[in-house]
Homo-oligomer: A and B are copies of this chain.
């Protein structure tokens, strides 16, 4: 790990540059030359900090996902927390190149590493925990399986963000997420409790 402050700065600069290039080119398509040009450093500097291109990608992902996604249940875990979480993720994808790159690296198959189920499973777990609380409270139909809902939500969100990127460079992603909830909420929430939830999110979340 870096010991001097200038090294911390260089390392961060390299990670930011790598994020930008990985976001736009993917792992295989990103060349070290492009990353170096973006960072304004040389290959010696990069290899001082990371022992390979692969470790660079791995560190980028590991650092990002050690602090993200942001789960903030405001002391009341449940369904609105999941809704707000999806919106925070949407905003993060819009605003933060490290998040975009990390998601891309994790999703892409046959590059970087075969996509690890780990991230998916972790997101599903986070989601399911909140849904379990919601179900205990009667906010979700008791006959539904929270793990299945979580699985569907994570999958659907993945597809939403990919197609949003293709079609509108993610400009419409928050709308798409709200739209997803408008379809899904009536299916999973008992009718009399439906009005408790805000498909557009409660805007209390920060992208992190």
B155 touches A176 (CB 8 A): yes
* Cα-based distance from A42 to B179 in the complex (angstroms): 50
Known contacts: A117-B166, A159-B159, A163-B158. The answer to whether A183 contacts B28 by CB under 8 A is: no
Known contacts: A155-B176, A179-B152. The answer to whether A108 contacts B26 by CB under 8 A is: yes
* Cα-based distance from A156 to B154 in the complex (angstroms): 10
> Is A160's beta carbon under 8 Å from chain B?
yes
A152 touches B176 (CB 8 A): yes
* Cα-based distance from A187 to B188 in the complex (angstroms): 9
> Is A40's beta carbon under 8 Å from chain B?
no
* Cα-based distance from A145 to B104 in the complex (angstroms): 31
> Is A75's beta carbon under 8 Å from chain B?
no
Range for the number of chain A residues in contact with chain B = 35 or more
Of A148, A149, A167, most B-chain CB atoms within 10 Å = A167
Q: Which of B25, B160, B166 contacts A156 (CB 8 A)?
A: B160
In the assembled complex, how far is the CB of residue A165 from the closest CB belonging to chain B, in whole angstroms?
Answer: 7
Q: Which of B26, B151, B160, B180 contacts A28 (CB 8 A)?
A: B26
> Is A41's beta carbon under 8 Å from chain B?
no
Give 7 A-B pairs besides A104-B109, A182-B187 with Cβ atoms closer than 8 angstroms.
A26-B26, A26-B110, A116-B166, A120-B163, A152-B179, A158-B159, A185-B187
A-B contact pairs, 26 of them (CB 8 A): A24-B110, A25-B110, A26-B108, A26-B110, A26-B111, A28-B28, A28-B111, A104-B109, A109-B165, A117-B166, A117-B167, A120-B167, A148-B179, A151-B176, A151-B179, A155-B159, A155-B162, A155-B176, A156-B159, A158-B158, A158-B163, A159-B159, A159-B162, A162-B162, A183-B184, A183-B188
Instruction: Point out residues on A near B: beta carbons under 8 Å.
Output: 24-26, 28-29, 104, 107-111, 115-117, 120-121, 148-149, 151-152, 154-160, 162-167, 176, 179-180, 182-188
